[in-house]
Structure 1
């Protein structure tokens, strides 16, 4: 990584509009004042935490003047903590970020424009088409870590027990629902074909893309109607009614492990980089991924920046934070540690440093199999999208628990969406 002097960097930052604490006489970076500690936080499973511990150890070994104070939690708890910290002006130095929340935090001045750091973070090995994921207007608030795509996971061992054929990319949605019902009827007691997948906003977006729409338009408006959402949430009503889906109660009991990870469903939609975690959770020898069902030729798929690195605008150690991000994005050893567990590495340096074997090779092969039909990657989503996503899941659960009818849930989501997107 190319380095600039801390004095030059500090001058550039103070001349900007971010008002960093460092400009007021903070302790500076390691190069200027000796060892520093930076706070770093991420969301994920225990598998990701174990890998992260190894990656942090590799960084600290090669950067003895910078210590990392690590912290991680589950996805929902993660954003609750960030909201509290942002309100108090105390975000961590470095954070794992998601497209759903990037604009919300960036436009409120909570994130550092890393363009202010010059060439401190090397992004030359990241595909140009992916970099806009972290850009808003002329500023860059997120550095892509990896890419992923949606897929349908299934467990061959469960299907063998049930005597049911594997799902295929040629399945229509009706085919898939018939498949779910057959698995639930024939699988061992307590094992089902699937959970109710309609509570996931990204899957709804995928279904909309199959129909030539999108959940959010380029100008930040909703790209669907109440009728579209009602159709989506009602699409699994018959499966809910006849008990073909694992119950909402059991799903809650198993959380934070998914029903598929617990081995209690034969299939689950998710991002392809979940494969490593699923293998750990299930203990299965083999799990498979295929393109999701579609009623036409378009599966509605796209590559997404699975996550990004961002720096809090309140950091007192911007250069140390940049050194850490540069290492985590570009170092081949880090690529080898994570493999594809966070998605396929975004930087060429890390991809070249990874020997894709086993699950990693499987994810690469899956993304190659869908490469010819990938749609446009999403840019940073509008302010409020993270809230929309959370509310979507909550209302999907309310439908499953019978607390709300589909019509009530649709009306409530649109009311909450209008409020969230006006904030």
Structure 2
């Protein structure tokens, strides 16, 4: 993502509109910002030859690279051309700056009319009452019903999904075929995955491994939810569920895998760096599989052109993995232009001219018609991402992000499970520490 702030261009006033000026937060700390932008939430009736039309300025903010910035500004121009009564006050910045600024705007109830939102933060802003319910926007035929269902928070929709994304599994198709190892198949279960790894080990030379190790919380959360249990964190962190029986079983299997060289030794695994030509577990030729998302698989394909195959994440009785957008357009609950903002966010994912201007700047478009329009221009790396999404969507569970206030717990989880991998403590000892801290944080969240 771009690290510098950009200045947006001022927007010409409509010749027949008289716009009421209202003060709005328009400066960016750290030297960037959008100079000369019109204030937000300004509306007035402008008469012309007996007819009247409401002139509206929508404020909008997003994060991203320079390429995304320029593409989005083109889309805003298109909207203003199609709807001459609407103009925009845009703000755009890098990821870190965005999430530093948004809490300040939220505290003063001055969030822009429209804002880009991320799956990692949307629940937090919904719980604060900062985002408008968008459930009345009809997305039939635009977004897969299962995706919409998984995006709901307490039965309501607070973000219009922008892109197709999913958690999948990449494998070295070329090498597996050369070694006579069956390729992973769609909807494989966890039991099938574990047995596949055992069988593959028997056909591999020393120093190569069929799968990688796991020590992050989300790896186990995929397993726990696939088995029909609740996510580890729910209700904004007020409910904490770490199933001990499943935990001991899951990590017991990986403990056995370490002993039998089915996963790399801890010292080697610690040296891996994804998407590094020499240190990536797959690109280096050490491991034959690893997790990959719709958005990230393109980087791996560039390191291993023509060698990759993809499949959805392992499944259980309840399904498996996730397939949904992780980036959205939301509307501020405090916006004075809610109806126009709702109209705009639907247009953003349905207008073909806008879709052409935006391209892949926010990933593969969520709207199948827009994707079809772009498909002839896509590269192999992009099509692999689409394949992950298509394979995952029918079995997908919701995307679960860490609850607010659980960053310490996420770090502790990895630290304790790394200690297990290095043989420094037992699985049960790790469970007790992780479970204790999680319950403490949930109790704290309940009181807040």
Please name the residue that 1:146 is paired with.
163
Q: 2:222 aligns with which of 186, 206, 222?
A: 206
Query: Alpha-carbon deviations, 1:321-372, whole Å to 9, x = none?
Result: 76874564334466565559745x333553443326534444545555566x
Q: Distance in 2 between matches of 1:307 and 1:56?
A: 14
Aligned runs of 1:231-380 on 2, under 5 Å? Answer: 231-241=249-259, 244-245=263-264, 247=266, 251=270, 254=273, 259-260=280-281, 262-264=283-285, 265-280=287-302, 282-293=303-314, 300-301=320-321, 303-311=323-331, 325-326=345-346, 328-332=348-352, 335=355, 342=363, 345-355=365-375, 358-369=380-391, 374=395, 377=398
Q: Distance in 1 between matches of 2:155 and 2:243?
A: 32
Please name the residue that 2:12 is paired with.
none
Q: How far is the alpha carbon of 1:113 from its aligned partner? A: 1.1
Q: How far is the alpha carbon of 1:384 from its aligned partner? A: 5.9
Give yes or no for contact 1:41–1:71 (8 Å, CA) kept in 2.
yes
Aligned runs of 1:160-199 on 2, under 5 Å? Answer: 166-169=183-186, 172-178=192-198, 181=201, 185-186=205-206, 192-199=209-216
Q: Is the helix fraction higher in 1 or 2?
A: 1
Q: Distance in 2 between matches of 1:398 and 1:6?
A: 66
Distance 1:306 1:84, change over 3 A: closer
Q: Distance in 2 between matches of 1:292 and 1:307?
A: 21
Using the size of structure 1 for normalisation, the TM-score is: 0.66
How many pairs does the alignment contain?
A: 381
Distance 1:214 1:368, change over 3 A: same
Q: How far is the alpha carbon of 1:374 from its aligned partner? A: 1.9
Query: Alpha-carbon deviations, 1:70-124, whole Å to 9, x = none?
Result: 3345xxx7998589758966997423311x5422232123x32154xx98x7745
Q: 1:71 aligns with which of 93, 111, 117?
A: 93
Distance 1:37 1:364, change over 3 A: closer
Q: 1:230 aligns with which of 245, 248, 251?
A: 248
Q: How far is the alpha carbon of 1:199 from its aligned partner? A: 1.9
Gaps of 5+ in 1: 11-25, 43-48
Q: 1:28 aligns with which of 36, 40, 47?
A: 40
Distance 1:167 1:269, change over 3 A: same
Q: Which secondary structure state, in structure 2, belongs to the residue aligned with residue 197 of structure 1?
A: coil
Q: Which secondary structure state, in structure 1, belongs to the residue aligned with residue 125 of structure 2?
A: helix
Q: Distance in 1 between matches of 2:267 and 2:339?
A: 47
Please name the residue that 1:45 is paired with.
none
Q: 2:132 aligns with which of 106, 113, 121?
A: 113
Distance 1:376 1:227, change over 3 A: closer
Moved more, 313-322 or 161-170: 313-322
Q: Which secondary structure state, in structure 2, belongs to the residue aligned with residue 104 of structure 1?
A: helix
Q: How far is the alpha carbon of 1:229 from its aligned partner? A: 1.6
Distance 1:263 1:56, change over 3 A: farther
Give yes or no for contact 2:162–2:362 (8 Å, CA) kept in 1.
no
Query: Alpha-carbon deviations, 1:388-417, whole Å to 9, x = none?
Result: 656544544454455654223212222232
Q: Distance in 1 between matches of 2:440 and 2:125?
A: 17
Q: Distance in 1 between matches of 2:319 and 2:410?
A: 21
Give yes or no for contact 2:171–2:309 (8 Å, CA) kept in 1.
yes
Give yes or no for contact 2:314–2:320 (8 Å, CA) kept in 1.
no
Give yes or no for contact 1:272–1:363 (8 Å, CA) kept in 2.
yes
Structure 1 vs Structure 2 CA RMSD: 5.0
Q: Which secondary structure state, in structure 2, belongs to the residue aligned with residue 310 of structure 1?
A: strand
